[in-house]
Amino acid sequence: MIKDNLCRYIWLRFCLCCLVCCFCASLQAQQAEDSITGKVHAIPEVRVKGKRVLQRISVAMPIQVMDKKELQGLGIQNMADAVRRFAGASVRDYGGIGGLKTVSVRSLGATHTAVAYDGIAVSNTQAGQIDIGRFSLDDVEVLSLSVGQDNDLLQSARLFSSAGVLSIYGKNPLENTDKPYSFKGQIKSGSFGLANPTATWAQRISSTTTYTLNGNYLRADGNYPFTLVNGKYISKEKRKNSDIESWHGEANLFHTLKDSSQLNIKAYYFNSERGLPGSIILYNDQANERLWDENFFMQTMYKKDLSATWTMQAQAKYNYSWNKYEDTDVKYEGGKQTDINKQQEYYLSGTLQWQPISAFTTSWANDFALNTLKNNQKNSPAPIRHTWLSAFNIRYQWNKFTATGTLVHTLITEKVKQGNQPEDRHRFSPTVSLIYRPWQSQSLFLRLMYKDTFRVPTFNDLYYLRIGNTDLRPEKAHEYNIGITWSGSPLSFTDYVTFTLDGYYNEIDDKIVALPTTYVWKMMNFGKVHITGADVTLRTAFSLNRNVKLLLTGNYTYQKAIDVTSSDSKNYKDQVPYTPLHNGNISILAENPWVNIGYTLTGVSNRYSLPQNLPENRIDGYTEHTVSVSRSFHLGTFSFRLQAELVNLTNEQYDIIKYYPMPGRNFRIMGSIEF
């Protein structure tokens, strides 16, 4: 017994030391500039002792996963906080509950990162980036981040064509149960006027058909205090115009046909009004910008096994998005500027998969999308874009090797009502990956990946006011990855240990940037960025005694992203704006029969707000500590859950985007009931 306790103590100290060393590389500086911006398919898992290991280590593409239990245990209550815990992911956050939040994978930019909701991509052709802040975690069952692409060959060509994919999966609450219905009610409250009630109802219509209804309301004034430093002068200020009010409704239908094929239909509606708090420069904290958003989409997915070797999947989606931006300022004629934009998308996708033998699988995916944009600009070009995507995939397993190849073809044509019309664009983009397992008795894998992608200029890049440029070429991204993954149970008291280490090198050519011309700024292809980095993740679970279990996770990212556009420029080989050289996090979840306790430490090194790495452009690094406690209990058929969390425990003042201060110490509490 003494020896076993000693082993536990040494192992805990070892894990903590490994994770802390990830941060000790001198949290000092520099993040990649954003380019501006049902059913989970089975993937082979490694069987280990104890609970299922979420980290997928037996695939060639780096994939990180968090499930609902972990999200709840750590007290994570919004999408941006969850995504920040993935290695290699960076979230741009403009501050506050209502601030826009976009995700970029390995400094490639938000426009290279796809977001998929229940297997179907979310789109925004106008800006090319998705605000992940509008998605609620309340009914998320699994959240995953794939670098390159997911291991599933039965997916849409749009996901194959992206440099990285953030996948959000919900769940049918009545799946694998005999219950005729279920209800979940939840309310969150907290600092800065936060009020967030939600309700979900699920009803079984028949043994093969279920529907769910979900409603979500959020409001907050968001006017949190912060410290303003101006040279030797320090003052206490309060954020202004940071309020938000939003409504979100969703309906889902899950139906199994007589031939066992699956049909899922989702209808989604989101409406919000928010203040855009603006930047704080010296003592000018005034902000008068407002943003209204309205988004409706309906999507359907149909999946059928045609035979023992053939499987097909079809997807269809209609998306409507409307937004209004308003700024009140004397610099505008009439004292106000109002921009109104309306986007529509019609999307179809079909994928056919053939697996004649267990070692060989191939698939062919084809997508078609029609996108339109209308706005209130004078002489609006009113563009119409037709996109055809085709992805051919092959996977072959031979002894200890598994090789996968993908070839994506993109063809885009565009028409405009008036003004210059861009030329048609097309390109072949290959992906090759290889995973090798040296010993069948060990869960050790070596992996290699190369992926070529490109992102077509957004409507804003091409047409926005006078800065748009219809001669823009697509950005080209090249990803190289080499990694090692391992999983096992090295000590008798450990449920499992997983470790991954990936080194990577990325290139971005023809980067789209805004550059000054004779009279105005213009969007131009003038960028070339080289990104060298490494992602490390460690995950383990073990028991301290019969009643207390610990889940320990951590990741560290090193990322050197330098501008190599021109050797004559002053910022040649400088770290690109908003890219930290070091960042990572550590999470500890203690599960016990009384109260579960979670602790998370996030650390980010210094960054620079402008291309030149000068002291005046530096943004200081920061660490943020979050503590949560939760308790679940049952009374008859009712389940209750109470949770409280303290965010930014040390009340550290920091910016993610320069001049956009983040909230200091704040709290959130949550209560829910299910039956």
Domains of the chain: which residue ranges? Answer: 2-674
pLDDT score of 554 more than 80: yes
CA distance 127 to 120: 19
Per-residue pLDDT for 515 more than 80?
Answer: no
Q: How confident is the model at residue 139 (pLDDT cuts 50, 70, 90)?
A: confident
pLDDT score of 519: 55
**What's the CA gap between 652 and 650, in Å, rounded?**
5
Burial of 243 from C-beta contacts in 10 A (0-12 / 13-18 / 19+): buried
Average pLDDT (138-167) is 92
| Per-residue pLDDT tens over the stretch 341-369 | 999 999 999 999 999 999 999 999 999 99
Main-chain phi, psi angles of 164, to 5 degrees: -160, 155
Beta partners for residue 346, in sequence order: 318, 370
Phi, psi at 527, each rounded to 5°: -115, 145
Bridge partners of 318, per DSSP, are 298, 346
Q: Is 128 helix (H, G, I), strand (E, B) or coil?
A: coil
List Cα–Cα distances, 584 to 4, 30, 116, in angstroms. 31, 13, 24
The total of other beta-carbon atoms located within 10 Å of residue 561's CB is 26
For the cut 70, the answer to whether the pLDDT of residue 10 exceeds it is no
Cβ-contact 13, 21 below 8 angstroms: no
**Cα distance between residue 84 and residue 533, in whole Å:** 17
End-to-end CA distance of the chain: 42
Min mean pLDDT across 162-166, 487-491, 622-626, 646-650 is at 487-491
- Counting residues of the chain whose pLDDT is more than 90, the rounded percentage is 57
Residues 6+ positions from 179 with CB-CB distance below 8 Å: 204
When pLDDT is averaged across residues 24-37 and rounded to a whole number, the result is: 38
Q: How confident is the model at residue 26 (pLDDT cuts 50, 70, 90)?
A: very low
pLDDT class for 27, splitting at 50, 70, 90?
Answer: very low
CA nearest neighbour of 547 among 592, 501, 610, 492: 592
* pTM, two decimal places: 0.87
Is residue 545 scored above 50 in pLDDT?
yes
**Domain 2-674 is classified in which CATH homologous superfamily?**
TonB-dependent receptor, beta-barrel domain (2.40.170.20)
Other CB atoms within 10 Å distance of the CB of residue 398 = 9
Distance between CA 253 and CA 206 in Å, rounded?
12
**Chain segment 375-401, per-residue pLDDT in tens:** 988 888 999 999 999 999 999 999 999
* SS3 (DSSP) at 33: coil
Answer whether residue 173 shows pLDDT above 50: yes
Tokens of residue 301, six digits? 């997915």
The pLDDT tens digits of the residues spanning 87-125 come to 999 888 776 676 678 899 998 888 899 999 999 999 898
Q: Residue 51: what pLDDT?
A: 39
Write down the pLDDT at residue 135: 87
**What tokens appear for 112 in the block?**
């290279």
Q: Which residues pair with 536 in a beta bridge?
A: 501, 556
Q: What is the Cα 203 distance to its own chain's centre?
A: 30
Can you list the positions of beta strands (E) in 69-190?
89-93, 101-105, 113-117, 120-122, 142-147, 164-169, 181-190
pLDDT in tens, 223-264: 888 877 766 777 788 888 888 999 999 999 999 999 999 999
